């Protein structure tokens, strides 16, 4: 069934009768022309055109990185990138998905790693093949300053690399464009792991409260909850005190006996 036939047969069509024809726009999926309703995301448009995703599709919410997509518009030499689940189709887009890009991923015993920059240099020596062409930055659908984050790694600044790459969803489009064949997104993941484990200060109050829980500070409370019947449990739940959204640091619950 062609896309055109499909829309004529679909229930959506009858709801928008008379307007359907003007709302269709042409797109090219892997070189083949389809007409799809405007306003759909690339992913929906591909499904509309008959594609059935078993890979290259994950959260549909722009956070999993499974649907990395490249496209071009006629007359523009620039390669554009997007997440298929986030970007609305535009007329005459030439679209190809890159759901996966093969890349070297270093093996390491994380517990043995330190925050020394050389740890990353040894695991990913190709880091030094970067020529600062900046194609990675241009390919990032998250708008990350990929080249600057790579520069930070070269400069031994793991914290900066971790912070700059915080929004990375590991789609791999940077890697697909890299002149030096770097594994940017794996390097960044390692940087963020090292950052979290060895650079960011530990939350001391967290360790304290975990110790208190281990020592049984809340055991009685839990036992009490277990012993009440369903009606009482619901009542307790509905009447529980909740910290207001705009509570200041000084806010305390009425019952402070458990703090």
Binding site for other proteins (CB under 8 A): 117-118, 128, 130-134, 137-138, 147-148, 150-151, 154-157, 179
- Whether 33 contacts 26, CB under 8 Å: yes
CA 33 to mean position of chain CA atoms? 30
For other proteins, the closer of residues 13 and 151 by Cβ is: 151
CB 118 → other proteins: shortest distance, Å? Answer: 8
CB 179 → other proteins: shortest distance, Å? Answer: 7
CA distance linking residue 140 with residue 158, whole number of Å: 20
CB 163 → other proteins: shortest distance, Å? Answer: 14
For other proteins, the closer of residues 179 and 218 by Cβ is: 179
For other proteins, the closer of residues 118 and 239 by Cβ is: 118
For other proteins, the closer of residues 137 and 189 by Cβ is: 137
CA distance linking residue 241 with residue 243, whole number of Å: 7
CB 117 → other proteins: shortest distance, Å? Answer: 5
> HSE-up of 36 (CA within 13 Å, CB side)?
26
**CA distances (Å), origin 93, targets 45, 90, 151, 167:** 12, 6, 33, 26
For other proteins, the closer of residues 36 and 183 by Cβ is: 183
CB 135 → other proteins: shortest distance, Å? Answer: 10
- Whether 68 contacts 40, CB under 8 Å: no
CA 165 to mean position of chain CA atoms? 11
């Amino acid at each position: 069934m062609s896309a055109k036939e499909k829309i004529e047969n679909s229930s959506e069509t009858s709801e928008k009768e008379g307007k359907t024809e003007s709302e269709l726009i042409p797109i090219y999926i892997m070189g083949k022309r389809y007409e799809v309703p405007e306003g759909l995301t690339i992913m929906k448009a591909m499904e509309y055109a008959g594609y059935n995703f078993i890979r290259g599709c994950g959260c549909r919410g722009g956070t999993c990185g499974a649907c990395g997509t490249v496209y071009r518009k006629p007359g523009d030499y620039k390669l554009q990138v997007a997440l298929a689940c986030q970007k609305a189709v535009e007329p005459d887009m030439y679209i190809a998905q890159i759901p996966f890009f093969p890349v070297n991923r270093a093996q390491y015993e994380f517990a043995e790693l330190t925050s020394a920059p050389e740890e990353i240099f040894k695991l990913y020596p190709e880091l030094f093949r970067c020529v600062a062409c900046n194609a990675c930055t241009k390919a990032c659908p998250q708008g990350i300053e990929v080249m600057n984050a790579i520069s930070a790694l070269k400069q031994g600044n793991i914290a900066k690399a971790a912070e700059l790459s915080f929004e990375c969803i590991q789609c791999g489009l940077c890697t697909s464009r890299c002149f030096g064949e770097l594994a940017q997104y794996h390097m960044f993941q390692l940087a963020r792991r090292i950052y979290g484990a060895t650079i960011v200060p530990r939350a001391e109050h967290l360790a304290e409260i975990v110790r208190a829980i281990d020592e049984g500070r809340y055991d009685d409370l839990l036992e009490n909850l277990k012993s009440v019947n369903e009606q009482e449990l619901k009542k307790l739940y509905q009447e529980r005190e909740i910290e207001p959204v705009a509570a200041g640091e000084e806010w305390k619950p009425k019952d402070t006996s458990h703090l």
